[in-house]
Chain A
Amino acid sequence: MTKKMLKTVVAALAVALPVSLCACSVVVDGTDVTDYTGMQYTTYDFFNTNTTVSCYLPAEDTDKLKSLWDGEIRDALDKISSLLSQDGEKSDVKAFNRAQAGATLKIDAVTYEVLSLAKQAYADTDGAFNPALALSVDLWGFSTRFNEADYSPSQPYDREDYKTQLPDEEYVEAFLSLSDFSETEIYAEDDGYYITKSASVAEVGGVVYTQQLDLSGIGKGYAADVVAEILRKNGFVFGYVDIGASSMSLMKNARKEAGTELGKWTVSVLSPTESGKYYFKAYVKDASLATSGNYQQYYEIGDRRYSHIIDPHTGEPYISDVLTASVFGENAALCDAYSTALCVLGSEKAIALDSELQGYTYTVAVETDQGFKVLSNADGKLV
């Protein structure tokens, strides 16, 4: 080899070595995650669905994550789900639902925070998101008691087979009259947080009904954000929290995924019409999301589909051209509420709602004769 050749090879190696080193390590937002390993924990103990925490972390931190999962995370989930459940001993929602019309109750700070978000979403969506429809949800057969294997009719308005028999119109109207969420007030005092129940009552068949709340939907989003914050606070910034596949809080991704930059997750959204298929993918990090739709929890009577989302204007399962809606933004609880509202509102009003949802990106599948089309305010960020 000539001297010239030798110099050339040395120069080439000088270029190749740094390139090789760069190529061998994966750095996301200043953190070398090359040797990070993936861990997942799942529980079914909360919100009647699965809660899964998925994290990429250094091998030496696996015990720390396990401790966090068994301790602070489960404690937080237990507290939130207990306070917001329909039947838990410590449930603020249960206490509210059983209270007399016009009663004032002291509530936990967590319940107050969730109710504050519910109030915000109720205002932002002009009432399309409404947590005061618990009676209507129950009337149409979508509360948790209908999932029990030993379900049997127990309420005056129950049918022998709720999937083939429609409820009496009398109940639909009565329960709708109790769903004005603005009549229920929440406020903070020096000694704690309070809720004053709507004074409205409705009587059907000799039974007096009062307003009832269902915060499970928005509560899942709230819980996803709380768990993600616990993880971040303890140094875990790569991963995501998934509650029932409908509410998620995403941190960063430690793996490179096709079509997007390092650090972002590819979020696949299931098609409302084709089983097991996706209809769009979004590339995001450090954001929350929620999805609502009419294609999973529903039954059909005649030509009509009755889904679990109740239209606050009719007291019946919603009818609109929106088959499913996904919302991305800072707060998972608001994403939850907005995605529900978008389904109820339909595509035309969803477009009009755009200016109200500051900082939130939505994508909806709008039913057409050929199947569905995709409508989004994402300016082409979604594919």
Chain B
Amino acid sequence: MKKKGIEDVKNSKYFSIWDTIPYLCVVVVAVVLMLVFLLPKKQIVSDFYVDYGDSRVMSYDFDEDEYRVEEEFADSVKISATAQGYLVEITTARGYNAFTVDTQNRSVKMTDADCSFSQDCTYMPAIEKAGDSIICVPHQLKIIAGGGISSPVTG
């Protein structure tokens, strides 16, 4: 190398600002991927279904705002429109349950039941993420949000 060339290298910056761009891109990509794949996400409720014992009573799709009541339970289910969404009332041979469906916030909350003792199901937290469930044991009625398994709730 000519002497002038060597001097040029010695006098130049250790690296140019443009050299850092690919590395910055790698860092950004890595952070984004971590956020996307590794950090926990709240699993939005896309649908829920209601079972009575082993039988499906009804289902509801939040994306389509569409519910389906199984024929066998057509006379057992009453659905009324509310300001937030729907009030669903289900009367089976075991008793009466009512729950609200908040279509904006995609949540479901048991609001009433005529089961004995303390009506545990009405005190259960609302369904707000995929896999959450509410069970009314005396009436064998279960509301489950599709798409996963809820974390354990004890009490």
Contact B120 A268 (CB under 8 A): no
Q: Given A255-B148, A275-B123, A276-B125 in contact, is the A270-B39 Cβ separation under 8 Å?
A: no
**A67 within 8 Å of B by Cβ?**
no
Q: Do A276 and B123 have beta carbons less than 8 Å apart?
A: yes
Contact B33 A23 (CB under 8 A): yes
Within the complex, the shortest CB–CB distance from A215 to chain B, in Å, comes to 19
Given known pairs A38-B148, A147-B116, the reply for A291 and B138 (CB within 8 Å) is no
Whether A204 sits at the interface, judged by CB under 8 Å, is no
Closest to A277 in B: B125
Contact, CB under 8 Å: A296 / B118: yes
Looking at the assembled complex, report how far the CB atom of A261 sits from the nearest CB atom of chain B, in whole angstroms: 11
Give bound CA distance, A56 to B130, whole Å: 14
| 0/1 string, A270-296, CB within 8 A of B gives 1 | 101001111000000000011101001
The complex places the Cα of A40 from the Cα of B132 at a distance, in Å, of 11
A355–B35 Cα distance when bound, in Å, is 43
Q: Which of A9-17, A93-101, A122-130 has 4 or more CB atoms under 8 Å from chain B? A: A9-17
Chain B contact-residue range equals: 35 or more
Q: Does B79 reach chain A (CB closer than 8 Å)?
A: no
A383 interface residue per 8 A CB criterion: no
Which A1-40 residues have a C-beta within 8 angstroms of B? 4-5, 8-9, 11-13, 15-16, 19-20, 23-24, 26, 38-40
Chain B residues contacting A265 (CB-CB under 8 Å) are: 151-152
> Of B40, B117, B131, B149, which is in contact with the most chain A CB atoms at under 10 Å from its CB?
B149
- Which B residues are in CB contact (< 8 Å) with A255? 40, 148-149
Number of interface residues of A (CB under 8 A): 62
Residues of A within 8 A of B131 (CB): 38, 40
Please state if A15 and B26 are interface contacts (CB–CB under 8 Å): yes
Decide if A19 touches B30 in the complex (CB within 8 Å): yes
- Given the interface pairs A20-B33, A42-B135, A256-B39, the reply to whether A54 lies near B149 with Cβ below 8 Å is yes
Instruction: Indicate if the CB atoms of B26 and A248 lie closer than 8 Å.
Output: no
Whether B138 pairs with A245 at a CB distance below 8 angstroms is: no
Q: Verify A297–B22 contact, CB threshold 8 A.
A: no
Is B154 part of the contact surface with A, judged by Cβ < 8 Å? yes
A18–B51 CA distance with the chains assembled, in angstroms: 45
Residue B55 is within 8 A (CB to CB) of chain A in the complex: no
Residues of B within 8 A of A11 (CB): 22
For A40, give its contact among B34, B39, B126, B144 (CB under 8 Å). B144
* Complex interface residues of chain B between 108 and 155 (CB less than 8 A to chain A): 109, 116-118, 120, 122-126, 131, 133, 135, 137-138, 140, 142, 144, 147-155
Closest chain-A Cβ to B108's Cβ sits at a distance in Å of: 12
Query: Does B6 lie at the interface of the complex (its beta carbon under 8 Å from any beta carbon of A)?
Result: no
Question: Could you tell me the distance between the alpha carbons of A147 and B151 in the complex, rounded to whole angstroms?
Answer: 29
Interface flag for A250 (CB, 8 Å): yes
Q: How far is the CB of B78 from chain A (nearest CB, A)?
A: 22
- C-alpha gap A52/B154 in the complex (Å): 13
Nearest-CB distance from A383 to chain B (Å)?
A: 14
**Chain A 37-70 against B: per-residue CB contact (8 Å), 1 yes, 0 no?**
0111010100011101011100000000000000
Residues of B within 8 A of A42 (CB): 51, 135, 142
B133 partner residues in chain A, CB cutoff 8 A: 40, 52
Residue pair B135, A12 in contact (C-beta under 8 Å): no
* Closest A residue by C-beta to B131: A38
Q: Does A301 contact B (CB under 8 A)?
A: no
- Contact status B151-A16, CB under 8 Å: no
- Nearest CB of chain B from residue A256's CB, rounded to whole Å: 5
Task: Report B-chain residues with C-beta under 8 Å of the C-beta of A75.
Answer: none
A329–chain B nearest beta-carbon distance, Å: 14
- Known contacts A24-B33, A258-B40: A278-B125 contact under CB 8 Å: yes
B23 at interface, CB cutoff 8 A:
yes
Q: Is the CB of A49 within 8 A of B118?
A: no
Flag whether B74 is at the interface (Cβ < 8 A): no
- A256 to B36, alpha carbons, bound, how many Å? 12
Report whether A289 and B154 are in contact in the complex, using a CB–CB cutoff of 8 Å. yes
* Contact across chains for A44 and B118 when beta carbons are under 8 A apart: no
A-B contact list, 22 entries, CB within 8 Å: A4-B19, A5-B22, A12-B23, A12-B26, A15-B26, A16-B26, A38-B149, A40-B144, A42-B135, A50-B140, A54-B149, A55-B149, A250-B152, A256-B40, A268-B152, A268-B154, A269-B155, A270-B154, A270-B155, A275-B123, A278-B153, A296-B120
The 3 closest A-B pairs by CB, nearest first: A270-B155, A23-B33, A38-B149
